[in-house]
Structure 1
Amino acid sequence: MGERREAGHVAHRQVAHAWAGDVFAADLDAADRVRLASANEGAEGPLPSDVLWDGYRRRLEADRDAEAVTYSLWVDWFEDPATSATAFAEVLGDDIGRVVAEPSEAVLLRARRVLECSGPVSWTVKESTYRTAVRLPALHAAVFRGLLAGFHDVYGDLEPAAALALLGPLDLPADTRHPAELRKVLASGHKNHYRSPGVWDEAVRSCS
């Protein structure tokens, strides 16, 4: 399992590097496009971190499809314990206070996208960001999706009691799927779908 996971991360990083220029080019000026296109292939080494994370933030805030970017965050950065803390801090954790205090359409879009794919990020890394995000109702649905992903993702991470406490104040749309089921499994102390096979199906049956 560990070897397959590491091989997968290497492959995903190679893919991410291959299309990085296409993903970020529309948001960068000409000089940064040149730096981005050549950084990973040239003799100077890997992509400069300031350009990399600025590119992610810009694309996450752009009002167009960001599936490639959120997928890259999820599998290339958030699933890897060696990179998830830095990645999460760069794309949201470091400025969640400003996002909540001074929300704009663009930063809220970025926050929602990051929260929704943050399931694999270590709970100790993301908990304070989740707690801050809960203060803003516009982010409640995204926090819920992050918690749900934390339970269901193969590499998802959460602490049941703390996650359950965060669920309490969330004001979710009436058609939100599975809040009752998530509360039930967390209240029973379960951390992850794959560590406790069958508990989710049982929760679905009991809540239906």
Structure 2
Amino acid sequence: MTTRGAEAARRWLAERGVRAEGEGWTSDGEPGRRLTANEVAHSWAGEVFTDGGLDVPGRVRLAFGLLDLLGEYWVTCEIRMADRGATGPLPADALWDGYRRRLEAEEDAEALTYSLWADWFEDRATVAAAFHEVLGGDIDRVVNEPTDALLRRARRVLKCTGPVPWPVKEAAYGSAVRLPALHPALFRGLLAGYHDVYGELEPSAALTLLTRLDLPADTEHLAELRQVLTEGHRNHHLSPPAWDDAIRARA
């Protein structure tokens, strides 16, 4: 979380009669009723992008401040809708810097990673640009000059790359495999690429990467993934019996 962004969002809400109280929220417009953070997000996150007192980058920063404050996935939905809507796109530097900074932070980033997976990465119109911005464009820097913050971002992104098309992520995977600290996250990305409804793997290339990962031999589903890739399967949903056969082979 960026404290400054959260405090700016808190002031912005207070100016509109919405205030934190205990573990919930209150609104001057609904006296006597306790609101959840999710209700506040649904009511107010979209309003950020109509605030005439802010320029567009300022609206983006305020929206991320609301995300810091509320921790609700819906805020990311409003950010995406503003980017993809009639008044978009949002300034790319403000948008993706907001994602990168929070993916690098120590605080929980579940709302952001779910947003990447379910929204930006599953959409073929946005996946290439989104993946490039949050990892693909600087994976070599992560590998060559790793810091705790960069490793946090790389791990979080790799784990949710299941829906990213293989040609989009192949080069980044090839760089990530050079750094053992990223191997568990890269494995999760490969596994998700096999199981996700929108997942995409190239079996031979994915198997080559898999054999280079330094993982414990008893890593859950490592043997099964190796078997289905060896047999040339691209995705669980294209050949459902293959995974069950791999599990039985381990029994």
TM-score (norm. length: structure 1): 0.81
* Greater RCO, 1 or 2 (C-alpha within 8 Å, sep 6+): 1
- Looking at structure 1, the residues matched to 172 and 88 of structure 2 have their Cα atoms a distance apart, in angstroms, of 32
SS in 2 for 1:128: helix
Equivalence for 2:73: none
Residue from 139, 154, 179 that aligns with 2:182? 139
SS in 2 for 1:64: coil
Equivalence for 1:93: 136
How many equivalent residue pairs? 185
- Looking at structure 2, the residues matched to 128 and 149 of structure 1 have their Cα atoms a distance apart, in angstroms, of 17
CA deviation after TM superposition for structure 1 residue 45, in Å:
3.9
CA deviation after TM superposition for structure 1 residue 46, in Å:
3.9
Equivalence for 1:200: 243
CA deviation after TM superposition for structure 1 residue 36, in Å:
3.7
Equivalence for 1:159: 202
CA deviation after TM superposition for structure 1 residue 76, in Å:
0.8
Identity of aligned residues (%): 65
* 2:217 maps to 1:170: no
- Looking at structure 2, the residues matched to 187 and 174 of structure 1 have their Cα atoms a distance apart, in angstroms, of 17
- Looking at structure 2, the residues matched to 89 and 199 of structure 1 have their Cα atoms a distance apart, in angstroms, of 32
User: Is the Cα contact below 8 Å between 1:36 and 1:47 reproduced in 2?
Assistant: no
Q: Which runs of 4+ in 1 moved over 6 A?
A: none
Pair member with larger Rg: 2
- Looking at structure 1, the residues matched to 136 and 147 of structure 2 have their Cα atoms a distance apart, in angstroms, of 17
Equivalence for 1:82: 125
CA deviation after TM superposition for structure 1 residue 201, in Å:
1.0
Q: 1:80/1:45 Cα in 2 relative to 1: closer, same or farther (>3 Å)?
A: closer
- Looking at structure 1, the residues matched to 215 and 170 of structure 2 have their Cα atoms a distance apart, in angstroms, of 19
User: Is the Cα contact below 8 Å between 1:96 and 1:132 reproduced in 2?
Assistant: yes
Q: 1:129 is matched by which residue type in structure 2?
A: A
RMSD: 2.7
CA deviation after TM superposition for structure 1 residue 35, in Å:
4.3
SS in 2 for 1:65: coil
Superposition pairs for residues 1-208 of structure 1, below 5 Å?
Answer: 18=45, 33-37=58-62, 40=82, 45-208=88-251
Structure 1's unaligned 5+ residue stretches are 1-14, 22-30
